[in-house]
Amino acid sequence: MDGVIIDSEPFHYEVNKRLFASLGITVSTEEYEGFIGVSNTAMWTAIKAKHGLVYPVNDLVALQVDGNIDFMKNGRVDAVAGVLDLINNLKREGFLLGLASSSPYTIIEMVLKRFSIRTAFDCVVSGEDFKNGKPAPDIFLKTADLLNVPPAQCVVIEDATHGVAAAKAARMKCVGFSNPNSPGQDFALADVVVSEINKLSVQQIRSMFNRT
């Protein structure tokens, strides 16, 4: 969802920068880019350990989520160009769609409601349900199970290194979306890489099932 359905990384970064400042820590751009695509819990667990924070991880996650919710209520959040058309086209062509996001359900539901796409997804899964977040394949394997589709017949669209790695660990095909607002990501493992979602067609996705 983040970075694929909505262009969320810029405002996530602004929210987190304010939070880092309030905690009296400095997180470099390089360090922060390594957390793109991972769960909030995994990010704050790593930051707490590295920077010696005394606050519980759950409290840090809650502060981050509250900041993101506040921004989404009061700021502008845009869908990635072409993604809503792609979702509608895939549904029209009979694809089953699952949303597997590292974000908490509260944020996921806000996004789905804002763009009126909740009914497009046959299942919705949040990373907050899993001990092992991306790059572990758990979230994608659970999504495939809920869709009742073998992993080998799934295609994942991801904008982050950890997400691509999780998709391939699940033995799924993967489209790497090189979103300029999700910098520093490695798509070497992806089966296909695109720089614009509006150039990704249903036919191109369907053709991936015929590849070895």
- The one-letter amino acid code at 180 reads P
Q: What is the pLDDT of residue 211?
A: 61
Position 212 pLDDT exceeds 60: no
**How many domains does the chain divide into?**
1
Position 75 pLDDT exceeds 80: no
Closest CA to 102 of 208, 191, 2, 171: 2
Which pLDDT tens digit goes with each residue over 40-58?
A: 888 999 999 999 999 999 9
The first and second tokens of residue 22, run together, are: 């309030």
Please give the DSSP secondary-structure letter assigned to residue 59. H
pLDDT class for 37, splitting at 50, 70, 90?
A: confident
Distance CA 186, CA 198 (A): 21
Q: Which domain holds residue 24?
A: 1-212
- 10 Å Cβ neighbour count for 183? 12
Domain with residue 133: its CATH number is 3.40.50.1000
Distance CA 139, CA 34 (A): 19
The rounded percent of the chain whose pLDDT value lies above 90 is 76
For the whole model, what pTM was predicted? 0.84
